Structure 1
Amino acid sequence: MAQVQDRIDRALVRGQINVIVWLGGAALLLALTAALVETMLHLAVHGHAPSFPEAFWQSLVRTIDPGQITDDHAGFAIVGLVITIIGLLLITTLISLVNNRIERRVEGIRRGRDPIPPRADHIVLLGWSDIGSKVIEEFAESGISSELVDMVVLANHSVADMRHELQENDDLGPRGAHWPVLRSGTTWDTRDLRRLASIATSRAVVILDDNTTDGLANTVKTVMAIVAACDGPSHDRQAHEHPTIVIEVLGETNDLVDPLRRRLARFGFRIVTVDSLALRTELAAQVSRRAGLSQVFQEILNFSGEELYLMEAPPEVATFGQAVTALRDRVSIGTIDAAGGQVNLWPHWATPLAGSSLILIASNEAAAASTDGIDMAAPPLEGGRPSCCERPLETQHLLVVGWNSGAVHLLEVLDQYAGEGSSVTVVTSDPVEPGPLKLESFGDQRFICPTIGVQAWLDLERDHFDHAIVLADDAVSPAASDASAFVTLLSLRPAGDIHGNPTTVVAQLRQRENKHLARQSLADDLVVGDAVTATTLAQLAMNPDLEHVLHDILGDTPYTIELVANPYLGRTSSVSFEQITTAIALHGEIALGWIKTDGTLKLSPHKDERIAHTDLQQIVVFTRLRRTS
């Protein structure tokens, strides 16, 4: 008897399913026992002695429906009463357990602790921060047509809070109410990664920095947890067998991140890093040169319009110059070596495409890879791209207001785009010691900490600056940093002619929602840190091979995007994008699109599409800058 009791106890503690099976078995056993008694004693049911199957059925019905007892008489009434009492205990317990299991299931889903069904080739976002909603917004636009990418979010946050934030995102609309799958857990717990994110079968994993002092340490732990969850490290695994890991880092972390990347690459893990601080700085340097460049970079980086793709060239397209003219509905800007990953953003027109992939700007992945829209009759561009046609650097006088951890890198990048004889003036509220700067063009460098305060100095300053950059303050909260930027912008753009207004004004903002508070009358371009980081993380998760392409376009390299004034002023007819492409190619440059007089940007228009001369304001070109001698 003790052994039976022990077996029953062990069965009960194994889970609710076991208990339900035991209760169901007990109900059947009760009905069988009662049927045997009724058959052996010939107890009458409804006036006649039942057969064994009928007695079993009548007994089983009474365990479920106690109302049947009112029809029982004589000896069967006693048996029916016993069956009904015991059956009520069994069935009510069974119903209670089933109900409890359903409630636990619902609670698990609500809390985000319910294991996800098996899935593959999905995107996993680990961690949650201010940019979490924006990252998901970008992935929402990355699908083909209206189809959403399969995505799972695992973070040490409440699922209800994350879902509420997604529903508050107007750009997500109703999609935020049911997509993506949200789970709450620890990002460096291998059990959570397996149960709640199915990490090993995912396509890519994006790790967000948690904005704490241990942010980098937590990121490294998360990476190692992913490796362990994928049954690594193992030397016999290839890169395509593991998900790509895209991590957000803040500032100089190369001493830890670079060795991590190199060493895990030996085990088939590919890690792509996005330095949000450097990215914000490099983009600010790019857009400060020309008003309107911000919308061009935003269009290329995000998924809502035209973006970058890497695709094999059609077999009939032999050279890069032929790709520029023959591909009618996309724009070729460079090549990347298929074997070594070497990026070439300035190939000669006669460069053969064998063994290389094209770097394209297209509306979506399907358009980039399409075999349609190819006109082999279009005359190809031939020969080289002479260096004499490279666009010369302009002498400029730059004003920088504020200082942060990326300011030195900003000045060094800006120096690459400034001509000889340029100057830079940095105004800060506290004295700064930038150390030795690697500046060649900014021969005149002034660092000013006015005793009357930065805002008062700006009100009194009468010198003219070509460009002004208002830096975000990383030492205060995002709200306080943006508030200070707004006040500074008001000083840089006052009414009247007595002030030496900068030609272009660019501001760094830390909160995306604040960009609507600084209209174009205050700043020509805004660099919103979280939006830039979010779009880049999403782009690299979907296409990690773009890592070096984006670095060469945004970093301190001679390659850049320029806005060329309408060369057709005074004419009243129209011009096709093919004609624009051919004309721009005479300077060794590639036409990317145009900006209309109403400010509308169009990248990668069809080569046959025409625009009226009176509607054309600027041509967007991809070019290479050179220093004047």
Structure 2
Amino acid sequence: MAPEAASRRQRMRYRFDNLVARGTAALIGWLALVCLLVVIPASVVLVWADRHPPATLSGRLAAVWASVGQTLKIGGAVGSPVYVLASVSLALVALLFVSTLVSLITTGINQRIMALRLGHSTVMEEGHTVVLGWGDQIFPVVTELVAANANQRGAAIAVLAPRDKVEMEEEISTHLPRTGSTRIICRNGRTTDPADLARVSPWTAKAVLILPPSGDDGDSRVVKTLLALNSPASAAGGAVVVAAVREAGNHVAATLAAPPGGHVLNIDDIVARLLVQTSRRPGLSLVYQELLDFDGDEFYTVAAPALTGLTFGEALLSFTASSVVGLLSDQGTVALNPDPGTLIGATDRIVVISRDDDTATVADTPPAVDEDAIVPAGSTAARPERLLLLGWNRRAALIVDQLDQYVSPGTTLDVVALGDGPTMRGAYDLAGARRHLEVTVHRGDITDPRTLAALDVPSYDSVIVIGDKGPGTEAEAEADDRTLVALLHLRAVEEAARRELSLTTELSDDRNRLLAPVREGADFIVSSRLISQLMTQISESRHLADVFDELFNAEGHEIYLRAAGQYVLPGRHVTFATVVASARRRQECAIGYRVQARSAIGPDYGVRINPDKHQRVRFAAGDRVIVLAR
């Protein structure tokens, strides 16, 4: 294009911009002039080109006028000047009113559409689940809630976040294309503003979940959201309120801000506890994955009036397709694995692990128990261990404290990390002798194969890899990248030593677990997915908060994977009821088993939770029984 042509176009565009800037009156005038310049010549051509045009000039001009009037909708009447003027006036008034009416209707519809697109309308639902905030947990939370609502009709999830409504809906549909009978409703607004909270109707919801936003001020926004839920404008009513904070120091403030009956999860503390438990019990992460996922078996509380007056020990074999693990009193107190002689009251509910709440039914007759196959209870002496912690982040100090509560005296822990500033100073502060644990800190890069080669990794009883905050590492995603590189080198160590490492890994993003270069069935603690599952489980039953509090507490009852030979004779075909009866004599609740031969075969990796008590199984060396015990 020639420069002068471009310049001409720019000048024309500039003049048009100036015309528009002069206002509506000038724009209407120019629009009318352009219409006349087009309509009048075209009408003249139509009249003169007609097969039977008027014979006289005045007739042709009248025909031109009629054509112009019909085209511009101003009547086109022919007659005396007064008659024509009156006709044109009425036509212009009618045109004005019709145009104004169309404009008002169009503007109103557009405003309504824009309001809906902005997500400012109020949700009119009852018994729905409200999700407040937007972060890493949003997609696994919605996924778990959809799975939980699979057998419910008309279920709804209302999401409120300071984001564009359409963008939220598109992102959710991308990650979760099928939602079954559950409707996803997104609204735009600040979760800390009571007026905005009212858009998702928390007072009629059955549960409210508050996700921890990303960023340094994420926990403070969770606290402010909890305070906003206590305001009269957005009180949550009888809904189950579940929130999560990232740092342990903010847990107390969030708990004080929560509505009565609300539950606040401490992400750092829970992840640290599970890392420690799993590092000492390989396969435990797979058990929790099954228990926390709505696609498998999970915890329920059920009424069982037929068991009134019986003992808890008798109840263990009363359910064929469910595993009994505790009692819920009418005061709302949960007791996991109480004494087998505890009597069941008329108002007590049974805490079970079952496929669904309607599958937890009392059997007419208890399953058969092979008494000859039961192995008498014996004691196992605890021994010191050598543990290795690769990486250091804000959760590492909690991990060390938890390990000190679990291990036997004389156990050593070597910490290897590369970092600067207050974080690593905290590592050196923990070095030295503790109650049961001797901690030694080594400075080194866990992504450097030379560092790992100098450690003799196969000599350790257990290895924990956590997100290492190395130089330049700020986001958790970048810490995951360093973890994946470290796992690559550990895989090479395994292959060189020709033995499997007892390895537990922490990741923040579940998508990175699929990339991890480790053997099938390895233990992973994915913080975002774990917290999402816990929040959705508690939102479905508020009493499960007490269940998980005790499971994750070193002083309470926990899940163990113990050698099957401690319970029944190896090589014998026995019913699972026999395993339950053997565990009962040890004051334990057997809830499943793991077959070592299938430990590397998905999707269950040998883990079987809540098997039918009539099912027969033959245990071999290396197989484990999964029990709930103190």
- Which TM-score applies when normalising by structure 2? 0.75
1:96 to 91, 98, 103: 103
Amino acid at match of 1:399: L
- Residues in 1 aligned to 2:233 and 2:364: alpha-carbon distance in whole angstroms: 46
The offset of 1:351, in angstroms, is 0.4
User: Aligned pair 1:433/2:428, yes or no?
Assistant: yes
Between stretches 497-506 and 159-168, larger displacement belongs to 497-506
Determine which structure has more spread, i.e. the larger CA radius of gyration: 2
Report if the CA contact (8 A) 1:467-1:502 is conserved.
Answer: no
User: Structure 1 residues 438 and 546, CA, compared in 2 at 3 Å: closer, same or farther?
Assistant: farther
Q: Residue 179 of structure 2 aligns with which residue?
A: 175
Between stretches 247-256 and 480-489, larger displacement belongs to 247-256
Q: Residue 222 of structure 2 aligns with which residue?
A: 219
5+ residue gaps in structure 2?
1-71, 371-375, 599-604
Q: Residue 107 of structure 1 aligns with which residue?
A: 114
- Residues in 1 aligned to 2:110 and 2:223: alpha-carbon distance in whole angstroms: 37
The offset of 1:280, in angstroms, is 1.3
Amino acid at match of 1:459: A
The offset of 1:76, in angstroms, is 13
2:476 to 471, 475, 478: 478
User: Structure 1 residues 480 and 212, CA, compared in 2 at 3 Å: closer, same or farther?
Assistant: closer
Report if the CA contact (8 A) 1:127-1:210 is conserved.
Answer: yes
SS class of match (2:429):
coil
Q: Residue 521 of structure 1 aligns with which residue?
A: 519
- The 5 Å alignment of 1:219-238 reads 219-230=222-233
SS class of match (2:291):
helix
- Residues in 2 aligned to 1:610 and 1:293: alpha-carbon distance in whole angstroms: 23
The offset of 1:129, in angstroms, is 0.8
Q: Residue 24 of structure 1 aligns with which residue?
A: none
2:509 to 495, 508, 511: 511
1:623 to 610, 620, 629: 629
**1:207-254 deviations in Å (ceiling 9; x for gaps):** 11222332233222222222214576xxxxxxx943232111111214
Q: Residue 593 of structure 2 aligns with which residue?
A: 594
SS class of match (2:140):
helix
SS class of match (1:285):
helix
User: Aligned pair 1:256/2:253, yes or no?
Assistant: yes
- Residues in 1 aligned to 2:533 and 2:113: alpha-carbon distance in whole angstroms: 34
1:206 to 187, 192, 209: 209
Amino acid at match of 2:217: D
User: Structure 1 residues 609 and 183, CA, compared in 2 at 3 Å: closer, same or farther?
Assistant: same
- Residues in 2 aligned to 1:132 and 1:615: alpha-carbon distance in whole angstroms: 42
1:404 to 384, 393, 407: 393
- The 5 Å alignment of 1:320-331 reads 320-331=312-323
Amino acid at match of 1:140: V
User: Structure 1 residues 177 and 300, CA, compared in 2 at 3 Å: closer, same or farther?
Assistant: closer
Between stretches 279-288 and 517-526, larger displacement belongs to 517-526
- The 5 Å alignment of 1:305-454 reads 305-317=296-308, 318-339=310-331, 341-354=332-345, 355-368=347-360, 372-377=361-366, 393-430=382-419, 431=424, 432-435=427-430, 439-442=434-437, 444-450=438-444
Q: Residue 142 of structure 1 aligns with which residue?
A: 148
SS class of match (1:168):
helix
Q: Residue 25 of structure 1 aligns with which residue?
A: none
SS class of match (2:492):
coil
5+ residue gaps in structure 1?
1-65, 233-239, 382-386, 625-629
The offset of 1:389, in angstroms, is 5.9
**1:88-141 deviations in Å (ceiling 9; x for gaps):** 44344333322332232222222222332x222211111101221111111111
The offset of 1:163, in angstroms, is 2.1
SS class of match (2:468):
coil
Amino acid at match of 2:245: V
Report if the CA contact (8 A) 1:281-1:406 is conserved.
Answer: yes
Report if the CA contact (8 A) 1:593-1:619 is conserved.
Answer: yes
**1:449-499 deviations in Å (ceiling 9; x for gaps):** 249996422122226101000111366212221111122222333257765
What CA RMSD, in Å, does the superposition of the two structures yield over aligned residues?
3.7
The offset of 1:379, in angstroms, is 8.1
Between stretches 408-417 and 320-329, larger displacement belongs to 408-417
User: Structure 1 residues 190 and 539, CA, compared in 2 at 3 Å: closer, same or farther?
Assistant: same
Between stretches 275-284 and 591-600, larger displacement belongs to 591-600
SS class of match (1:494):
helix
1:243 to 200, 222, 239: 239
- The 5 Å alignment of 1:39-118 reads 86-116=93-123, 118=124
Between stretches 519-528 and 355-364, larger displacement belongs to 519-528
SS class of match (2:220):
helix
Between stretches 81-90 and 478-487, larger displacement belongs to 81-90
- Residues in 1 aligned to 2:432 and 2:303: alpha-carbon distance in whole angstroms: 42
Report if the CA contact (8 A) 2:146-2:180 is conserved.
Answer: no
Q: Residue 39 of structure 1 aligns with which residue?
A: none
User: Aligned pair 1:299/2:303, yes or no?
Assistant: no
SS class of match (1:544):
coil
- Residues in 2 aligned to 1:459 and 1:615: alpha-carbon distance in whole angstroms: 32
- Residues in 2 aligned to 1:587 and 1:565: alpha-carbon distance in whole angstroms: 14
